[in-house]
A and B are shown apart, each in its own frame.
Chain A
């Protein structure tokens, strides 16, 4: 009997289940949330289900930490637990937890039904977590779909707003198109190398000549993934989708799925030794930084502004992918983490200021916020300074590591483009700070106070941003260790 068939028929062992333990926990809690939802009235469900979902993410965090003690592969080499996957698990699940905290009061203000909302966040987190541990292209595809479908629906959650529906449909149509690209790439890859397992593909690429099919496969997969991280020239959907989607969801989908996709990209580009990496990344990174920053310069809507900023940040991050693996992988991981902290934080503030029906999202609505709500303004300022890349914030070291990794790889041209871009970028973030502190207050907007859920979300992201800005050493060390796992 064929030995492969024999293994296929064997039952999964307990060890296999440990490899997907966080995903199991998240799914369980997702189902509990969905089941509890019909038993409660709407107001009660918002509070209770939010708490249940939060407990779910915390349990999943513990599961990830537990899982970290048993590195190895499971389910017939489809998932792999290593320091790298644990890093992204914790990142994605922590983002989900913070977003749940942010949504806690937001749901009340916007009068959104909570059951499916929290459920979808948890299911989305399942897909994203699985993406970071999957080492098999078909499984990666399935995980990508789980994650994407949740975010498509979440984008449309402000049911009464037409713009939200537009956002959801746009994201769905273009997103499915992009996943198709990815799937086609996987198929070509199978044709080129005879496998969909990343380790086997790496072997094939390393040993033999790379066929045209291989290049095409890499390129198509890259297109699909570049769409998901909103890298130019596949970024056109971003501002519209971010503008319409509920603000906490934007905080979620601009960080967690992106982190997961970057994890996949790191595996494909570095672990699988994908050919043609350098020029592909070079062009996309340079384009994303430039187009993102230029687009952001003229925005009056803060959500759109941050959407363009996220395009630019995807560009900075991709610079690390062009570097050598030893410096590039840790730099990319660090960037993902610190970007997640500052961006989720910024969107938490935005979602709070937006108020009922998300009416206050233009720059003008931020006028005089420094006077109306000094604390909120100060916190947002720190996130914005971090997005600019000013020292003592995580954003500074993130850019720093990425650019020095690129310099080590002698990509001086790309670094110059990046450095000029980050100087340009300072301008539009400053516009928000200027509005908050240097323009007259709008009297008709009430001074927002900071409720518990939001407050804890802000505290977590703020501490993370500043911790990464003052003591980045330990995180970077961990990232370097997990990069070593990846390059084995």
Chain B
């Protein structure tokens, strides 16, 4: 098994790419393109399940590692590996992609082949971001996510798609340039030159980088800006609502479900991992931005007339929780942050799928266009309610666990962090349930809505896994947390001067 353990990450990462390349050879009008994409993404999912099954939970450090020299000058290694945090993000990605394929089965009519090629390319790039342990490789995948995502938005999106795609591309690309500068600095100042995350981390901890103290703040900021735009943290969030509203459903699912987590994952891994002191000394303003994001995102979500925009702003609010958890520097906070990343991926992914299903039928996201939908579409309404409750944070569903942990961590750090953050939970109940009420309850206002067909088999198949995951994650969070916990401890170890809270 040992050789398989070494190559499993490579396999999982590149199977979608191989699928995309094979799709290139398939004739354009072929009917089985969708089936093929589904099979490929399912294969990646099944293989990725190997990771949690054989993960050594007691062990700290990275697992399933593979480290090969790739390019001699500059000294770039093909170094992959996961810990308990990134492993679950990989599984989240592979879990959501088949659902994206299913949900796009009918809604994509034109240039179907290219759509699925882009989707699979995006999956490879996303997985690559989470498994890379070489800063260069990481940057490589990080930038590589941009192109398929921008094309998905720009080609298959709605009316203002071009604007949204270009805005998304430029915004996130310009921000990542700062990260590149920081990475180059680290490379130039290590001796021997290296991009290896673990080596650089050790060099920083043992003080082997001569000019580090002077540059540390700027390096921290370089990384942080790239991640903050991706999250997106207030006030860097303005690209997100545009991108979401214009993106096709599958694009929104992966954007909210996985792409945003690249930012929070980056903060966890690189900001905390490489610059613990700077993270601590800058935590106060970062937490304030996160709190503003939680409250502001929620308040703006409340007044959105557009369903998709509402969900987009709710993401800003939820991701604020993640940042709050990370910069609380407590075991509970970080555990919770990681859990929220996964839970938000599942439930917001499901919300976007549900919104997309409605769009396929009515070609609008305007909330006022609906009302009383529970009568013609009862199954749809039940799924929607279930997911909304999960997202709101009802106990026994997945949203609750993460938010609870984050808030308890935030309380330990500074009581008022927790107080302000906790209002976010209330807000989210407000805007989601209010939206639910306006869309589903009451009498059917518009006659066109009377005859809307309920979910068909394919849509149910796409929604069931997400709903089931939301439930299982809520009932048995330890299945996830026992792997996360050890890795979070490892992240927090250099911040040992902080109070440690172990939640079991």
Contact = CB atoms under 8 A, between A and B. Distances in A.
Interface of A: 370-371, 374, 385, 390-392, 400-401, 403-404, 407-408, 415-416, 419-420, 422-423, 426-427, 430, 434, 437-439, 471-473, 476-477, 480
A427 B170 contact: yes
A437 B153 CA distance: 11
Contact of B170 (A391, A419, A430): A430
A391 B143 contact: yes
Contact of A423 (B72, B166, B173): B173
A86 B215 CA distance: 42
A177 B86 CA distance: 61
A401 B187 CA distance: 12
B166 A407 contact: no
B66 interface: no
Interface in B92-144: 111, 114, 139-140, 143-144
Select the residue from A385, A408, A430 with max chain B CB neighbours within 10 A: A430
B221 to A, nearest CB: 13
B165 interface: yes
Contacts of B309: none
A458 B359 CA distance: 42
Given A404-B187, A419-B181, A437-B154, A430 B169 contact: yes
B165 A404 contact: no
Contacts of A371: 111
Contacts of A471: 71
- The DSSP consensus for interface residues of chain B is helix
A351 B264 CA distance: 45
Contact of B72 (A437, A438, A439, A477): A477
A430 B187 contact: no
B170 A403 contact: no
A159 B399 CA distance: 71
A350 to B, nearest CB: 21
Nearest to A388: B173
Contacts of A408: 188
Contacts of A438: 154-155, 161-162, 165
Contacts of B140: 391-392
8 contacts: A391-B140, A400-B74, A419-B177, A430-B169, A437-B155, A438-B154, A472-B71, A473-B71
Nearest to A374: B114
A426 B176 CA distance: 13
A263 to B, nearest CB: 21
Interface residues of B, number: 30
B174 interface: yes
A476 B166 contact: no
B174 A423 contact: yes
B184 interface: yes
Contact of A404 (B155, B162, B177, B184): B184
Interface in B137-182: 139-140, 143-144, 146-147, 151, 154-155, 161-162, 165-166, 169-170, 173-174, 177, 180-181
A403 B173 contact: no
A139 B215 CA distance: 48
B154 A434 contact: yes
Given A385-B147, A404-B187, A437-B151, A476 B73 contact: yes
A422 B177 contact: yes
A232 B74 CA distance: 30
A437 B166 CA distance: 12
A434 B162 contact: yes
A64 to B, nearest CB: 24
B114 A426 contact: no
B144 A391 contact: yes
A416 B155 contact: no
A473 B72 contact: yes
A465 B143 CA distance: 18
B126 to A, nearest CB: 15
Given A407-B184, A415-B181, A438-B155, A426 B170 contact: yes
A261 B146 CA distance: 36
A426 B172 CA distance: 12
A390 B180 CA distance: 12
Given A473-B71, A473-B72, A403 B147 contact: no
A166 B305 CA distance: 57
Contacts of A390: 143-144, 146-147
A404 to B, nearest CB: 5
B141 to A, nearest CB: 8
A415 B183 CA distance: 13
B59 to A, nearest CB: 32
B416 interface: no
Nearest to B111: A371
Contact of A434 (B111, B147, B166): B166
Nearest to B110: A371
B143 to A, nearest CB: 5
Q: Which 3 A-B pairs have the closest CB atoms?
A: A391-B140, A438-B154, A423-B174
B227 to A, nearest CB: 17
B154 A407 contact: no
A400 B73 CA distance: 11
B73 A473 contact: yes
Nearest to A390: B143
